[in-house]
Structure formats: C-alpha cells, structure tokens
Structure 1
C-alpha cells in the first residue's frame, strides 16, 4: 500500500509504504537506489543485513544509496517505510548527506525516543493510515524549526531534474539556478549525498523502469532504452546492473515487487 503525503509535505516526503509479512518464513529482500533517502519504522521486526548478517535496528534511517542493499527477514514483519525526497534526511539529521550515503542510522541513536510512539503503534498493529496521519503531524512540526534558503534551491533543482526525467546537463542546471557547476555540485553533495549527474542518472534509470513496467506488449527493449534517453542498450544494462544488481529482464521476471525499488529476490 503506497500513500502520498499531504500537499504541504510533498516537497519533503515522496510517499509512505506499508508492508506486512504474515508468514514465519525467511525472505530475501533488496532495496535499490531511486535517488531517495528514507525511514523504516517497525514495532517488532527481525531484519538482517544480507552481507554481514547483522541485525538491523528496530527502526532506522537509510542514506541515499549508490547501488543496492540486500536484507533478509526471519519472521513476520509489520512496517512503514517513509520515502524521503533526497535532501530531507539532511534536514532531519543536520549533517552532510554525503557522510550518511549508503549508511544505516538507528533512529534511537539520533532522535532518542521521539519516534517511540509510532513504533508502539506498529507493535500493536494500529491501522497504518492512523499512524501515517500522526507522522504527517510530527513531520510538519519538525519542519517548522529546520528550514533555510539552500533547501529551497536544492528542492527546485531536484524537481527540475524530475520533470525532465533526468535528461538534464550541468549547463541546463547552471542556467536554471544561476549557480556555477562546482557550486551546485558542492550543495548537492552536502544536501543530497550525491552529485547532480549521479542523481540525474538515477532518475533517468527510473524513467526507463516506468516504461518497462507499463509496457504490456513486450515493446522492444532497445526502443524503450532510447525513449528513456540512453545512448545504447549496453550502456543501459551496465547502469541498470550497477544500481539494482539485476539485468532489466531479471528485474521484470521478479514476481514480488513490494515497491518500485524494493523487491523480494
């Protein structure tokens, strides 16, 4: 279940996702980059790193990913994922987004007990729509204390890239913002954890993902890659695999797509 935020929070939160696993089975999960950061909130979850096997915090933030992260679950789970606009995590944690890119940060370590009430609601399996309404109130109050001018510039640039499906050059951004390429790169690294070019490449990749997911007649993959702005299919496949760990065909054959960038392997 994917739920949009209210209009006044849309510049900071892309959407909420409610996920539930009611079976006591091991499930392998993969989260791959869509240029966003986010928050995973749970009340009682046994989620482990697919690489180290370490248990994940009960609730955690994740920085912008350069590729993908694998997890596995040993038990039932009931969770809400809050998918942020890339710069929102910088606002919440008040630190360089570059330093926390590809990182998992325990909620308890940075916000103490500020989200504990939401974890308790999830533990008690309260209607997720009620929990999301309470989260909207929490984030609204939080934002009233944390905004500055730079956020407005980054937010406008990010929306410009999204509207153009990632097909934006550094010169386009210079013209749009009035800032030099180097200045924008520094700002993007600090607030979003990646360069404008990297973010544009991710958005272009997700433009291609939307095309193949909507294609009902197995439209030619090469044609779709050109439509998304890739110069050739080999470039697309290389970029796709770097970011998802899969080829486009393997992604299409994945049966359980819990979200566009969160799948069960």
Structure 2
C-alpha cells in the first residue's frame, strides 16, 4: 500500500509504503536507488542484510543509496517506509547527506525517542493510516521550526532536473541557478549526498523505468532507451544492471513491486 503525503509535506516526503508479511516464509527484498533517502519504521521486525546477514535496527534511517541493497526476513512483520525527498534526511539530522550516503542509522541516533510512539503502534497492530496521519503531524511540527538556507535552491534545482528528465548539461544548471559547477557540486553533495550529474543519471534511469512499465514489448526496448536519453541499448543495460542488479526484462518479470525501486525478489 502506497500513500501520498498531504500537499504541504510533498516537498519533503515522496510517499509512505505499508508492507506486511503475515506468513512464516522468507521474504527477500531489494531496495535500489531512486535518488531518495528515507525511514524504515517497525515495531516487531527482524530484518537482516542480504549479504552480510547482519541484523538491522528495529527502525532506521537510510541515506542516499548509490546502487542496491538486499534484505530478508523469515518471520511475521509489518513496517512503514517513509520515502523522503533527497534533501530531507539532511534537514532532519543536520548531518551532511554525503556522510550519510549508503548508511543505515538507528532512529534513536537522530531523533532520540521521538518515534517510539509510532513503533509501539505498529507493534500493537494499529491501523496503518492512523499511524501515517500521526507521522504527518510529527513532520509538520518538525518543519515549523524552519529549514536551512540552501533548501529552496536545492529544491528548485531538483525540480528543474526532474522536469527535463535528467537531460540537463552542467552549463544549463549553472545558468538556471546562478552558481558555478563546483559550488553546485558542493551544495548537492552536502544536502543530497551526490553530485548533480549522478542525480541526473538516476532521474534518467527512472524515466526509462516509467516508459518500460507502460510499454513492455521487446521491439520497443531500443526505441525507449533512446527516448530516455541513452546513446545505445548496451549502455542502458549496463547502467540498469549496476543500479538494480537486474536486466530490464528481469525487473519487468518481478510481480511484487511495493514501489518502483522497492521489490520482492
């Protein structure tokens, strides 16, 4: 179940996802980058890293992901994923987004005990919509304290890149913002965890994902790769596999997609 935030939170939160495993079967999950960071909130989950088999915190923030991460759980659980706009974790934590990239951080390390009430509600099987409404109130109150001075610049640059589906030159972005290439790179890395070029490449990849999710016949794959701005199909497939760990066909064959970048293996 994917739920949008209220309009006033949309500049900071992309969406909420409620996920439940009611059986005893192992559930294997893959999260790959969509240019977002976020929060995984649970009251009873036993989640492990798919590679190191390391026990994850009960609830945690995750920074910008450069590629993909696998997780698995073999017991019943319910969780809410809060998918942030790429700069929101920096606003919440006050920590450089670059320092948080590819890291998971227990919620108490950033917000002490402020999210415990939501973990308890998940543990007690409170209706997910009620919990999400409470989270909307929490984030609204947090943002009432204001945001950093770079927020409006970074948000405007992000929207410019999204509007142009990632096909923006460094000179175009410099002209749009009035900042030099080096200044923009520093601001993006501090607020979002990656350079403008890397973020533009992720936007282009997800534009291609939106195209293939609507038109999946093989004869269109090459045409759609060009439409998304790739010079050739082999370049696309290489980037796609580096990002998702799958080929486009393998991705399309995955039936359970909790979100475009959060899939059951």
Give the structure-2-normalised TM-score. Answer: 0.98
Structure 2 residue aligned with 1:19: 19
Give the whole-Å Cα distance in 2 for the aligned partners of 1:187 and 1:216: 38
Q: Is there any run of 5+ residues in structure 1 with no aligned partner, and where?
A: none
Cα separation, 2, equivalents of 1:135 and 1:178: 36
Distance (Å, rounded) in 2 between the aligned partners of 1:127 and 1:214: 32
Q: How does 1:209-248 map to 2 (within 5 A)?
A: 209-215=209-215, 217-248=217-248
Partner Cα separation in structure 1 for residue 240 and residue 253 of structure 2: 15
Please state how far the C-alpha of 1:148 moved relative to its aligned partner: 2.2
Q: Which residue of 2 aligns with 1:103?
A: 103
Q: CA offsets, 1:104-148, max 9 Å, x none?
A: 000022211100000011111111111111111100111122412
List gaps (5 residues or longer) in structure 2. Answer: none
CA distance in 2, matches of 1:214, 1:124: 39
Per-residue displacement from partner, 1:195-234 (whole Å, max 9, x unpaired)? 0000000010000001101115555110010111111111
Q: Please show how residues 88-99 of structure 1 align to structure 2 within 5 Å.
A: 88-99=88-99
Please say if residues 30 and 263 of structure 2, whose CA atoms lie closer than 8 Å, have aligned partners that are also in contact: yes
Distance 1:8 1:170 in 2: 30
Q: Tell me, yes or no, if the aligned pair for 1:5 and 1:16 is still in contact at 8 Å.
A: yes
CA distance in structure 1 between the aligned counterparts of 2:217 and 2:229, rounded to whole angstroms:
21
Contact (CA 8 Å) 1:96, 1:190: kept in 2 or not?
yes
CA deviations on 1:11-49 (whole Å, 9 max, x unpaired) are 100011111111111121110000000000011001000
Q: Contact 2:60–2:107 at 8 Å: present in 1 too? A: yes
How far apart are 1:149 and its partner, in Å? 2.1
Paired residue for 1:120? 120
Is the CA contact (8 Å cut-off) linking 1:91 and 1:146 kept in structure 2?
Answer: no
User: Does 2:164 align with 1:155?
Assistant: no
Distance (whole Å) between structure 2 residues aligned to residue 76 and residue 224 of structure 1: 40
The offset of 1:255, in angstroms, is 2.0
Shift of 1:74: 1.4
Are the structure 2 counterparts of residues 219 and 19 from structure 1 closer, same or farther at C-alpha, using a change threshold of 3 Å? farther
Superposed CA RMSD in Å reads: 1.0
Bigger mean CA deviation after superposition, 199-208 or 138-147:
138-147
**Which shifted more, 187-196 or 147-156?**
147-156
Please tell me whether residue 181 in structure 1 is matched to residue 160 in structure 2: no
Instruction: List, as ranges, runs of 4+ consecutive aligned residues in structure 1 with deviation greater than 2 Å.
Output: 216-219
**CA–CA separation in structure 2 for the residues paired with 1:97 and 1:210:** 27
Number of matched pairs? 265
Kept after mapping to 1: 8 A contact 2:91/2:148 = no
Q: Are the equivalent residues in 1 in contact too, given 2:17–2:80 (CA < 8 A)?
A: yes
- Matches for 1:132-211 after TM superposition, within 5 Å: 132-211=132-211
